[in-house]
Amino acid sequence: MHEKTLKFIISGGGTGGHIYPAIAIANEIKRLHPTADILFIGAKGRMEMTRVPEAGYKIIGLWISGLQRRLTLDNLSFPLKVISSIRNAYKIIKDFQPDAVVGVGGYASGPMLYAATKKGIPTLIQEQNSHAGITNKLLANKVDKVCVAHEGMSKYFPQEKIVITGNPVRSDIVHQLGKRAEAMSFFGLSPERLTFLVIGGSLGARTLNQSTEAALQRIQEAGHNLIWQTGKVFFSTAEEAVKSFPSDQIKAFDFIKRMDLAYAAADVVVSRAGALSISELCLAEKPSILVPSPNVAEDHQTKNAMALVERNAAVFVKDTEAAEQLWTTAFNLAKDKEKQKELSQNIGQLAKPHAAETIVHELLKLIK
């Protein structure tokens, strides 16, 4: 007797912070049920439309965007987009007949989860941040299960639906230990030097990029390596800037696909404090300097960062002070081997390596 092919829809995206957990969940479903059929639903024109197919999954794009905080043409079309997306979501459900629907936050997960709950299909939300996103808050009472990464989320979600799972992270990051030599040769860097890794999140970060550009000379003179992920917008500027420095020492990328090797190469990481970045840093056990983005809802990146700083698991630099302080702080940490060791041990204790497994376990329980 063949077991029935299980079918799942995973919806959401917009940034790496939503997309990578979604892919990690899909990979875990596939590990447990190799024959499972998985369909992603994203927002047209957003990053997931390229990243998800690269990971080997089918994706359909909905015509949806967020509400802007000021009056724009986009806002006027917002009600139309919502109606059109919900109608499309119903059609997708009818055609695909999923056993369960997962929402990871981001614009596309709203219409999809709404339609699924109306149709009585089991639904699960995965909330990455310590501060719940608007889509997830609106759907909390309708869905069956809410998987969260942080304590104290009952102020957003019904307590009886909450399971604390941590954030699912790409499995290769869990396995970056022992890859340093491979990483150094992959990036073409000299292995004798200390290596800084600068990551501004999937969309880049202006403050980190400008501070790093200004510090290139000092990084070279101090004899350190730099792996610098800039995001698309700043990349041409960075590419131009690094031309005058030795290529076995300073490297700029708009996007790094092999993040496992980037972490394996890094001795000190400079990063934004998005929920996913923090989950990855915990698993990679890297001494980190966090510069929270000020442009996020209710300043949740600062809250994410402070949760680590209070446990002596990371160093904090305020975005407005990064231009003056970031690289001085980084050079000081590079000199202080004891501090590096301490940060590395403390951040490692906060890792939740089995998040994807736990989430998929909860998902399968809903189907049973």
Structure tokens belonging to residue 31: 């590990």
Residues 54 and 152 in one domain: yes
Q: Is residue 24 included in any domain, yes or no?
A: yes
Residues 19 and 133 in one domain: yes
Within its chain, how far is the Cα of 275 from the centroid?
6
Residues annotated in a binding site for UDP-N-acetyl-alpha-D-glucosamine: 15-17, 129, 170, 202, 256, 301
Confidence (pLDDT) at 67: 56
Residues 210 and 337 in one domain: yes
Q: How far apart are CA 129 and CA 120, in angstroms?
A: 27
Confidence (pLDDT) at 341: 97
Q: Domain total for the chain?
A: 2
Q: Is residue 188 included in any domain, yes or no?
A: yes
Structural domain boundaries, residue 99: 7-167+353-367
Residues 179 and 121 in one domain: no
Confidence (pLDDT) at 203: 60
Instruction: With H, G, I as helix, E, B as strand and everything else as coil, classify residue 228.
Output: strand
Residues 85 and 204 in one domain: no
Name residues of the chain where pLDDT drops below 50: none
Q: Write out pLDDT tens, residues 263-321.
A: 999 999 999 998 888 999 999 999 999 999 887 766 788 988 998 999 999 999 999 99
Q: Is residue 126 included in any domain, yes or no?
A: yes
Q: Is residue 178 included in any domain, yes or no?
A: yes
Residues 218 and 359 in one domain: no
Residues annotated in a binding site: 15-17, 129, 170, 202, 256, 301
Q: Is residue 206 included in any domain, yes or no?
A: yes
Q: Is residue 314 included in any domain, yes or no?
A: yes
Task: Give me the long-range contacts of 78-84 (CB less than 8 A, separation at least 24).
Answer: 82/110, 82/111
Q: Which residues of 162-194 are buried (b: 16+ CB within 10 A; e: fewer)?
A: beebbbbbbbebbebeebbeebbeebebeeebb
Q: How far apart are CA 363 and CA 309, in angstroms?
A: 33
Residues 363 and 330 in one domain: no
Give the CATH number for residue 313.
3.40.50.2000
Residues 25 and 43 in one domain: yes
pTM tops 0.85 = no
Q: Which residues pair with 148 in a beta bridge?
A: 127, 164
